[in-house]
A and B are shown apart, each in its own frame.
Chain A
Amino acid sequence: MRAKISRRTLLKGLVAAMASTISMAPSRKSSAHDFQGYETNRGVLVDVSRCVGCRSCEVACSREHGLAPPPGLVDNYRLLDQQQQGMRRTDQNAFTVVNRHESPLLTHPLFKKTQCNHCLEPACLTACFVNAYTKTPEGAVIYDADVCVGCRTCMVACPFSIPAFKYDSAFAPQIMKCNFCFDTRLSRGRPPACVEACPMEALTFGYRNDLLRVARKRIRDTPGRYEKAVYGEFEAGGTSWLYISPVPFEQAGFDIHVPRQPILNYVKDFLAVVPMVLTIWPGLFAGIYLLARANKTHKNTNDHEDVSDETSER
């Protein structure tokens, strides 16, 4: 016969099973499910209608962060022309890029600057299993390369596809992304390098709440000049960088598929399942076990068949 399992051993096993799983299962209730962003959250308002595509911001950024100088600066417009095949994106050598977009509503091209939008509830941060990302009260989403494992889930999670990975480094690879010039500027209340470099005042630095008012005022004061929406007010739960555009956002190179709620909301359904499984499964399966065992013992005593030969092998 199979070793008799007394109530005590059964309980012991159960406690062991539950302890081992519960101790592994982190508490996953988010306390911040109504997070509206920090009052002190700074941001930048990008007026797409003002940008002329000079890419001074790219140069300033690469200098600020010691990155390789942006390609094709001499023949600036040729590079922007080439982009017709595919847009440039942020990568390990560029924290910000400017792309050219044509809109059927305009006779001239539009230029859109791309960089980390510094979400109020960043997807990269919520997806990171080693807590490498921090949302500072100033609004920057900064990254700590010292704890990063290189799993690249943040790149999957970012709805704007901003974080890039230094694939060519074997010993010190890391995520490369705009940090709002946090260390050098933002933490001292100064605007990031790109904003300072812009000759067209296409970029306005300030408190996010103020910028939203500025954006709405511009839209209201010059009727017909802007789309009546601020990109970033609600996208991915709200971003620090905000945009106003003279044409529908998809024509200016914005991803309009970005959900309007924080990415974390999509994961909460699963996170709610975790405690349920942890509490219901042990009892359920222990119960099934007891039923199955009772059934088997009953059968064995009834038909006197030697099933025990098989079982004793275990």
Chain B
Amino acid sequence: MKPVSANITDAVGQATIVSGSHRGLLDKIFLGLSIRNYLGQLLTNPVNWILGLILAIGIPLLCQRYLFGLQAITHGSQDYPWGILLGFGLFGMVPLSASGFLLSTTVEIFRRDDFLPIERLALLNGLLGYFFAVVFLLVDLGMPWRLTYPMVVSFGPAAVLFLVAWHVATYLSVQIAEMLPAVSEWADWPGLKRFIKKITLGLTIAGIILSTLHQGALGALFCYAPAKIHPLWIAPEFQWLHFFVSSIFAGLCMVIVVSWLVKHTMTWRCDRRYLSTLDGITLGLAKGAALAMITYLVIKLVAVAHDQEWLLLISGWGLYYLLELGLGTVVPLVIFAYGVRHSRVTMVRWGALLAVAGIVWNRLNTVLICYNYRLHQEIPYWKELWVVLTVLGFYFIVYRFILYRIPVLFRWRQ
């Protein structure tokens, strides 16, 4: 990694950051390097070799899926209609992408300017998370070319998924609009930025509404299977609240994790403001996440009490449930409480990583492991797992491509 970033820093450190507006598009895309140099640095980066390996196997698998049907890459289980593709890709990615609406609310509504340096990263994380959740959906849908049917062709407005579809589509556009100021700086279209600025408040409030509803709706989807999912993981009255509140700390923890990774792997791209404020911001985010976690634990408890499930807690599934809540929420919560109080930033970051894993685990439990718990367990086919990895590879590539160029981690100077 070192030589790569050093290369680019040399080229970009002077060219990109200092003089902004007069560079050509090619310069902007190739980071001020010649195409030859640019490709050269791509090849010397070991991360790209790993990505190459993933894609080299994954792209043929994707072709297989589109030519021969889902059966070619999944078990095609009739008992588990939603496999890991959706369980991770949609139900796992979406809560981690709540970061966009959370930070835009913090900065634009609550006027917490101290979180400004991280706002764009959170917005981008949200946008890409949603976008790739849709990509996962396109892989998993039986007829992906009919993605727009619920909007254009045939309406089932009483279905929860109808709400999810419309809200994710609308929210995706809201998030694109929210990212436009950064793009307009990069592409030098100041008019666009001025326009978005005028409607920022509307966009932000729309974002809160849409996020509340579809994060909740993803949970409410499981209310359609009240008897199939283990009772500890389904509480029809509270399911939407569980999913919504857990998405709050999921999104915040995801920002902590991403900002941490970026700080170490793309230091050259971060400006001084980002680097100097990040530790304080991380602690602030952890504080917010901890509050959401307490809320989450309380409503989880309320659900157990409401459905009279105390005895289930001492069964095998109950212990598994406690393990999930303990490792995924209570431990990070304790870490956050201790870390924030004693300003232990690194500790907080590891806690955030644990919480992110905990949320994905919770969603996988709901979709796969505790679904049809009276039947056999579905263990994903390796090809399905590899396709998940492949889409994540694309996600990583796009994420990195944008962070390198668009002013997300740094401020654009005219």
Contact = CB atoms under 8 A, between A and B. Distances in A.
Interface string A255-292: 10111000110110111011001100110011011001
Contacts of A278: 209, 213
Main secondary structure of the interface of B (DSSP, over half): helix
Nearest to B165: A129
Contacts of A27: 157
Interface stretch (A36-44, A106-114, A200-208, A305-313): A305-313
Contact of B209 (A12, A91, A147, A281): A281
Interface stretch (A52-60, A155-163, A191-199): A155-163
A173 B197 contact: no
Nearest to B202: A13
Contact of A170 (B68, B116, B203, B371): B68
Interface string A160-186: 010011111110011000000000000
Contacts of B405: none
Contacts of B153: 130, 147
B221 interface: yes
Contacts of B371: 156
Nearest to B198: A9
Contacts of A89: 78-79
A173 B72 CA distance: 13
A127 B110 CA distance: 37
Interface string B141-154: 11110110110011
Contacts of B81: 152-153, 155-156, 165
Contact of A131 (B146, B156, B163, B205): B156
B225 A157 contact: yes
Contacts of A149: 141-143, 146-147, 149-150
Nearest to B65: A170
A281 B208 contact: yes
Given A149-B143, A150-B146, A3 B197 contact: yes
Given A151-B142, A289-B111, A25 B154 contact: no
B170 interface: yes
Given A130-B149, A153-B161, A285 B105 contact: yes
Interface in B149-179: 149-150, 153-167, 170, 174
How many chain A residues sit at the interface, stated as a range, is 35 or more
A127 B222 CA distance: 10
A14 B142 contact: no
A129 B156 contact: yes
Contacts, number: 245
Contact of A310 (B79, B113, B174, B374): B113
Contact of A292 (B111, B212, B372): B111
B158 A30 contact: yes
Given A153-B161, A292-B111, A307-B113, A91 B78 contact: yes
B74 interface: yes
Contacts of A270: 160, 216-217, 219-220, 223, 239-240
A165 B227 CA distance: 21
B236 A269 contact: yes
B376 interface: yes
Contacts of B72: 170
Given A148-B142, A149-B149, A170-B66, A266 B226 contact: yes
Interface of A: 3, 5, 9-10, 12-17, 20-21, 24-28, 30, 86, 89-92, 123, 126-132, 147-153, 155-157, 159, 161, 164-170, 173-174, 255, 257-259, 263-264, 266-267, 269-271, 273-274, 277-278, 281-282, 285-286, 288-289, 292-293, 295-296, 307, 310-311, 313-314
Given A168-B68, A270-B239, 6 more contacts: A14-B202, A17-B206, A24-B167, A123-B224, A166-B142, A285-B105
6 contacts: A13-B203, A128-B161, A147-B154, A168-B76, A269-B223, A285-B205
